[in-house]
Copies of this chain bind each other. A is one copy, B any other.
Amino acid sequence: MIYFRSDYSMGAHPKVLEALNRTNFEHSDGYSLDDHCFHAADMIKDMIKNPKAEVHFFAGGTPANFTCIAAFLRPHEAVLAPRSSHIYMHETGAIEAKGHRIINLDSPDGKIRPEQIETSLAEHEDEHMVWQKMIYISQSTESGTVYSKAEMAALSDLCRKNNMYLYVDGARLGAALTAENNDLTLPDLAELADAFYIGGTKNGALFGEAVVLTNPKLMPDFRYIMKQQAGLFAKGRLIGVQFEALLEDGLYFDLARNSNKLANRLRDGIAAKGHKFWVDSPTNQIFPIMPIKLVEKLEEKFFFYRWMPDDGKDVCIRLVTSWGSKDEDVDSFLADI
């Protein structure tokens, strides 16, 4: 079986694994208070050109998201997020379990727009209603789409005008930053967002996400909330080591570029056969709509998700490429359609 099911089905990129092997017998302090974590944090601060930022390492995206929200918000404050977002759809109410409402906004392409935020803000009357304090978005989104620099800046402006925070879930940030036509750089993102994370799990690490806080208001006592929310990882060094390996010589971006390149090849090949797509996504997740018969045939050899219920004739599927996908996987798929 050839895997186009997810970008976290394999272990780590060989260079990351090699770093873990090489450092295995080092002794270090726990909970990310070690030289590898310090070094990886410095690398990130250099990359975003912001020495005053704080970098915190998490073992996964869900704890990164809910720890940040628990740390940033007071009890009556809510977070605005696309209906398709990970925190709304696939974290079993983890945000509400911290006491906060998610106000979900329609997002046919995975993105939300300033007008939607403004409409929500206009509904606010008084202390009988939750207070909209934070926007949560993903870059790239759950639909594989990407916010342009102008789009991200518009959300950021709106937040600053309304005393809100902008948080960007970067589980697939590599794919976004290396997408064709993307014009948003990592320093741009760090400038526009109050907090975001650089995802490792879906781009070459065994596991690990690097949360970056740029707004000083969000920093006090962050490690307390991390520990309380299980965000502090005992052998934190493991995450530091992996990020050192990923960030050295731009490996992180090379891996993402590979994912995008193969997704593009899939997309172009599928389009050339006349199939349409549910959404136009320039990153490593694509959503072709194909006849059910063809999909059934493909399912014998390829592993992927049907993304929506079929309509009796066609069905939308999701194909995901990863750092470990190969040209021959794509060749094989294109040959079969």
Contacts and interface: CB of A to CB of B under 8 A. Distances in A.
B129 A92 contact: yes
A189 B30 CA distance: 29
A275 interface: no
Contacts of A221: 74, 76, 127, 131
Interface stretch (A2-10, A139-147, A179-187, A264-272): A2-10
A194 B147 CA distance: 46
Contacts of A207: 59, 233-235, 238
B60 A230 contact: yes
Identify whether the interface residues of A are mostly helix, strand, loop, or mixed.
loop
Contacts of A74: 71, 221, 225
A25 B9 CA distance: 9
Interface residues of A, number: 71
Interface stretch (A16-24, A154-162, A244-252, A280-288): A16-24
A197 B7 CA distance: 30
A227 B78 CA distance: 15
A8 B21 CA distance: 16
Given A101-B96, A128-B90, A129-B90, A228 B76 contact: yes
A58 to B, nearest CB: 9
A120 interface: no
Nearest to A12: B24
Given A76-B92, A92-B76, A24 B8 contact: no
Interface stretch (A44-52, A62-70, A255-263, A310-318): A62-70
A238 B206 contact: yes
Given A207-B233, A234-B207, A228 B91 contact: yes
Contacts of A229: 94, 97, 230
Contact of A24 (B11, B70, B228): B11
Given A93-B100, A238-B207, A11 B20 contact: yes
A70 to B, nearest CB: 6
A223 interface: yes
Contact of A97 (B17, B60, B228, B324): B228
Given A221-B76, A228-B91, A233-B59, A8 B30 contact: yes
A75 interface: yes
A212 to B, nearest CB: 19
Given A23-B11, A26-B10, A207-B235, A227 B303 contact: no
B3 A27 contact: yes
A184 to B, nearest CB: 25
A121 interface: no
12 contacts: A5-B27, A8-B235, A10-B26, A11-B23, A20-B206, A71-B75, A75-B228, A76-B92, A94-B227, A127-B223, A127-B226, A131-B221
